[in-house]
Amino acid sequence: MNTVKQPTAVSGKPKVNVAQWLFEQKALIALLVLIVIVSFLNDNFFTTHNLLNILRQTSVNAVIAVGMTLVILTAGIDLSVGSILALCGALAASMVAAELPLVVTICGTLLAGCAMGMFSGVLVAKGKVQPFIATLVAMTALRGLTMVYTDGRPISTGFTDAGDAFAYLGTGYLFGIPFPVWLMVFAFAGAWYLLNHTRLGRYIYAVGGNEEATRLSGINVDRVKIAVYGISGLMSGLAGLIVTSRLSSAQPTAGAAYELDAIAAVVVGGTSLAGGRGWIIGTLIGALIIGFLNNALNLLDVSSYYQMIAKAAVILLAVLADRRSK
């Protein structure tokens, strides 16, 4: 023996132990337990109709949470999502009312959302403003802009062919599944691909883990940050399209406090607010937990006051369970 011995590998390549893996997914277990318990308590819960309903209701928060996950992975936070949702919704509603082609409305709205997000991104990256402050500024300014633009009144999408076509986004079904659910699945699939298979995804984790090391590795950290806030804005724009389409009108107050549910979904899903650690599927599970819980509490006739407390308790439990396993 002349070479240096390798450390004795106890199990070689770590084997994927399914049972153990499942056990570590505290959020997933919580979700399953929740579903089982409520199914026993209420017969109307575990029905196709209700489940699809829950998925549809969850889709808006889930789509926003996708963008929020990316931002939080870079150790940032995005408070402006609700305001972007509202302004994008208003823009979309007026475009539909003006009977622009649907493609133009959708692309225009998404681009607008992306641009609004990038504005915060530039503040954070180039202006060195803390994410909390930068997006707080954006949140306030954009809500104000929405009020100015709508004059504080809802904008109807109108009873035209364009209005009907637009309504499909939020109310239509594809293969028996609500269209917003498809959008949600699409958003998660895209984010999963981004995080696991692309350069930008790697950079997002790296920036959150150690920004300085990432910069010295030759990565343009500013661009990564602008990109994540841009994507978060885009997702909020998409959420704005869904909400506006579903109601056939844009409410100037839409999306208020949505950032909190989105952050909750991300955190319940196991992503660290300190950045650099987390996964997108966790966020989906987190969003579903919150969605299922809301629905279950409604079905069980729990008053909305208690609902808030229950929701807080679930978030706390999820986060504590996650702490424990670290």
Partner 1 sequence: MSQAILQMQGVSKTFPGVKALDQATLNVYPGEVMALLGENGAGKSTLMKVLTGIYHADSGSIHYFGSPMTFAGPRDSMEQGISIIHQELNLIEELSIAENIFLGRELCAKGGRIDWPAMYREADKLLAHLKVGRSSREQIKALSLGEKQMVEIAKALSFEAKVIIMDEPTDALTLQETESLFKVINELREQGRGIVYISHRLSEIFQICDKLTVLRDGEFIAEREVAEMDEDAVIELMVGRRLDEYYPTVEASQGRVSLKVDKLSGPGVNKVSFELHEGEILGFSGLMGAGRSELMRLLFGDTRKTAGSVSLYGETLNLNHPSQGIAAGISYISEDRKGDGLVLGMSVKTNMSLSALAALSHVGGHIKRGEEAKQVARFIDAFNIKTPSEEQIIGNLSGGNQQKVAIAKGLMTEPKVLILDEPTRGVDVGAKKEIYELINQFKQRGMSILLISSDMPEVLGMSDRILVMHEGQISGEFDVAEATQEGLLAAAVGRNE
Q: Which residues bind partner 1 (CB under 8 A)?
A: 1-2, 4-14, 197-200, 202-203, 205-206, 209-210, 212-220, 276-277
- Specify the 3-state DSSP secondary structure of 232: helix
- CB closer to partner 1, 149 vs 205: 205
- Residue 108 or residue 209: which is nearer to partner 1 going by CB? 209
C-alpha span between 86 and 84 (Å, rounded): 5
**Nearest to partner 1 of 214, 283 (CB atom):** 214
Kindly state the smallest distance separating residue 199's Cβ from partner 1, in Å.
4
Query: Please, what is the minimum distance in Å from the beta carbon of residue 192 to partner 1?
Result: 13
Considering the complex, state which of residue 89 and residue 270 has its C-beta at the smaller distance from partner 1: 270
Integer Rg of the chain from CA: 21
Q: Name the residue nearer to partner 1 (CB basis): 12 or 176.
A: 12
Tell me the closest approach of the beta carbon of residue 130 to partner 1, in angstroms: 15
Total residues belonging to the chain: 326
Helix (H) or strand (E) holding 250: strand 249-250
CA distance 140 to 137: 5
Among 229, 226, 230, 234, which Cα is nearest to 72's? 229
Q: Which is nearer to partner 1, 13 or 49 (CB)?
A: 13
CB of 279 to partner 1, least distance (A): 13
- Angle at the Cα of 68 (from 219 to 157), degrees rounded to 5? 120
Query: Among positive and negative, which fits the CA dihedral 129, 132, 133, 134?
Result: positive
Tokens of 323: 């702490």
Residue 266 Cα distances to 47, 67, 199, 286, angstroms: 27, 10, 22, 6
The DSSP line for 15-80 is P--HHHHHHH-HHHHHHHHHHHHHHHH-TTTSSHHHHHHHHHHHHHHHHHHHHHHHHHHTT-----
Instruction: Decide if 181 contacts 59 (C-beta within 8 A).
Output: yes
| Min separation Cβ 126 and partner 1, Å | 13
- Least distance (Å) from partner 1 to the CB of residue 11? 6
For residue 261, the minimal CB distance to partner 1 (Å) is 27
Nearest residue (CB) to partner 1, 169 versus 204: 204
